[in-house]
Amino acid sequence: MKFTKKSHSCVRLEKDGRTLVIDPGIFSEEDAAVGADAILITHEHADHFSEERLRAGLEANPAAEIWTLKSVADQISAAFPGRVHTVGHGDTFTAAGFDVQAHGELHAVIHPDIARITNVGYLVDGRVFHPGDALTVPDHQVETLLLPVMAPWSKISEVIDYVREVKPQRAYDIHDSLLTDLARPIYDNQIGALGGSEHLRLTPGTSAEV
């Protein structure tokens, strides 16, 4: 499977000539969803969900479809009739030839005074896990963890402990638009030294085999 990092939390996965895109939000490229055969959205926050980017992807491929949780589906089903599927924790489905399992129910706590919204992570082909904005641990061994490395709702000790709990073979940074180049070496060194898994980072637009 080919993994391509896009900006922030958006990623592309490709196999057998088909493409799956996860979380094309406002921090990702305007064409982040263009070329997708299927699109997965983890939750409703704008850095993960942009109707404009979804529209660009669905107009480019009239056969492309979206899988997401109810809070997002309710906002876009009328705009994209017949092309939006609602999923939740425990569901399994096939999207563009990829086998997907949904894990998790709630967004991480930003602050006790802010109501928590729903969030679902996606385990793709039993190997690659995108948790969205949560530190969900799937009940399945993960080879490649897409790691939300820096967010308003987390601190580095939680990120390190999350890698330790999931125990992936490798962890690639996502959710990194707020992380400055000055701070990256600190995160790289500490997560790499303490997480217990291979810690990797791709610049947007670059790819790796996973």
Residues 81-134 have pLDDT tens digits of 999 999 999 999 999 999 999 999 999 999 999 999 999 999 999 999 999 999
**Direct distance between the N- and C-terminal alpha carbons of the chain, in angstroms, rounded to an integer:** 5
Which pLDDT value is given to residue 12? 98
Domains of the chain: 2-209 (3.60.15.10)
CA distances from 44 to 28, 110, 111, 147, 183 (A): 15, 15, 17, 19, 28
Q: Judge if pTM exceeds 0.95.
A: yes
Which pLDDT value is given to residue 202? 97
Evaluate whether 125 touches 150 at the Cβ level (below 8 Å): no
Percent of the chain with pLDDT over 90: 100
